[in-house]
Amino acid sequence: MVDSVSANPLFPGLGDALVVIDVQRDFLAGGALSVPRGDEVIPVLNRYLKLFESRSLPIFASRDWHPRTHCSFAEQGGPWPAHCVRDSFGAEFPPELQLPSQVQVVSKATEPDREAYSDFAGKDFDDRLQERQIRRLFVGGLATEYCVLETVRDAVARGYAVLLLIDAIRPLNVMPEDGRLAEEEMVRLGAVPIRWEDLVRAGCTQVATRRPL
């Protein structure tokens, strides 16, 4: 397999992983805490998923997996309506999201008295990345200014390089500029914003059906 760091800088390869953040029913249209236009990330993420799967590269999908009395819920004095309660319909990944069978699921915000926006909130995720010798993360999902931002912030702080899939994120925008400001913050931290078209121009998708060496 070609090392993505030493070869084409956009080419997913050895040392890379795709991270799909919180694309769950409750964050999509009709969900308990729907992200405006959140459904739009699904077909875009499916392209990245197919590319990484074709290269036998690691894919992680995180999910909020809240207990029913989670501190972030309005009933407990938190800012959000109850959402993504573990084992509930709203916590499921939508069937339209084409997660491969070998996807590694990262559950977070599982303790009732502790909020956890970042995938790195528990040590388990970082450990799994280290075990696979991952150095670079391709990151997309929901919502831009919360779980995506906090995951990217923690990833950079831990020394990972981050490619931000700018076409595969959407903001909640409680305040109108929240999403834009979060994107700017991630870039300031060192994340490199890319779109699927950038991979197409770089020729990365031409080998999507090849097996790694």
Just list the catalytic residues.
22, 108, 147
DSSP 8-state symbol, 118: S
Residue by residue, DSSP assigns 1-44 as --BTTTS-TT---BTEEEEEE---GGGSTTSTTPPTTGGGHHHH
User: Is there a contact between 108 and 122 (Cβ–Cβ < 8 Å)?
Assistant: yes
Sequence-ordered list of residues with C-beta below 8 angstroms from that of 45, at least 6 positions apart, any chain: 20, 23, 97, 140, 141, 165, 168
- Integer-rounded Cα Rg, in Å, for the chain is 17
Cα pseudo-dihedral 88, 92, 96, 98, rounded to 10: -150
Of 199, 193, 140, the residue nearest 169 (C-alpha): 140
Within a 13 Å sphere around the CA of 161, how many CA atoms are in the beta-carbon half?
15
Q: Residue 165: helix, strand or coil by DSSP?
A: strand
